[in-house]
Amino acid sequence: MSFNINSFTDALKSAFLYAPVTLKLTVITFVVAIILGTVIATVRHYRVPVLSQILAVFVTVYMGLPMMVALLLYNLLFMTFYNDVAGALHISVPISDVNPIYIGFFALILGTSCSLSEAVRGAFRGIDKTQYEAGYSIGLTRFQTLIRVIFPQMVPILLPGLQNSLIGLLKASNLVSAIAVTEIMTGALLPSLLYYSYLESYLAAALVYWIIGALIEVLAHFAEKNSGRYLSRAIA
């Protein structure tokens, strides 16, 4: 089988065309998951009665659920119950007009939130207890100590793990193709439907993923270099 440069170029263009979909899935999911994961980790770290136990069980169970299974399960539930729920809520939008990307967001956010919550919990353990006492000793409340003392010190600890999570999320985003969302991988394969040039399409998709992943690593390296400066400014 010979390598067709024209097919590769077409696949590359098509992959870049759908790159915004992948970036939107990755960035929005990551930002929301950081917030939710931090809330979950904080509740569990401070052992809030009842809620911390419920979240502990949820994270434990959900971490064992493969992302593909979650996506297909949520999609099936959506297709089965949407009309009933829409009718009860007097929603006139037909199911055919609902973008399946929202199901992808839901599945990715839940899974990423659980994994990031474990990373944040690990960062909590990396902070010495004297830091809490120092905050309380100067009159800060528990919430103020958390925001002004603890969280800033957790940033350098979290950054390497956040980088890995973001790149992992980027690669996992192509799973949404299973629920009819066209992203980088599916976009790169579109020309192959005409030319049957699957090798070129997969190589084009790999190149686009590599470029985005390399940009993430550069940004993460910059963030790590400047995290100490941020830490000093936040604690001051």
Q: Among 19-28, 40-49, 52-61, 195-204, name the one with the lowest average pLDDT.
A: 195-204
Give the domain CATH number at 60: 1.10.3720.10
pLDDT score of 234: 46
Answer whether residue 214 is part of any domain.
Answer: no
Tell me whether residue 202 is in a domain.
Answer: no
**Per-residue pLDDT for 189 more than 50?**
yes
Residue 8 lies in a domain: no
**Measured distance CA(203)–CA(206) in Å, rounded:** 5
pTM check: above 0.85: yes
Position 229 scores a pLDDT of 60
Name the residue range of residue 52's domain: 19-183
pLDDT per residue as tens digits for the range 156-174: 888 888 888 999 999 999 9
Percent of the chain at pLDDT exceeding 70: 95
Q: Residue 208 above 90 pLDDT?
A: yes
Confidence band for 232, pLDDT divided at 50, 70 and 90: low
What is the percent of the chain where pLDDT is above 90?
Answer: 53
Q: What is the mean pLDDT of the chain?
A: 88
Q: Which of 180, 175, 181, 189 is nearest to 15 (CA)?
A: 189
Query: Among 9-13, 25-29, 86-90, which is the least confidently predicted range?
Result: 86-90
pLDDT, average across residues 190-209 = 88
How large is the C-alpha radius of gyration of the chain?
22
pLDDT at 233 over 60: no
How many other β-carbons are positioned within 10 Å of the β-carbon of residue 208?
22
Residues 6+ apart with CB under 8 A from 146: 42
Q: Number of structural domains, the chain? A: 1
- pLDDT (0 to 100) of residue 131: 81
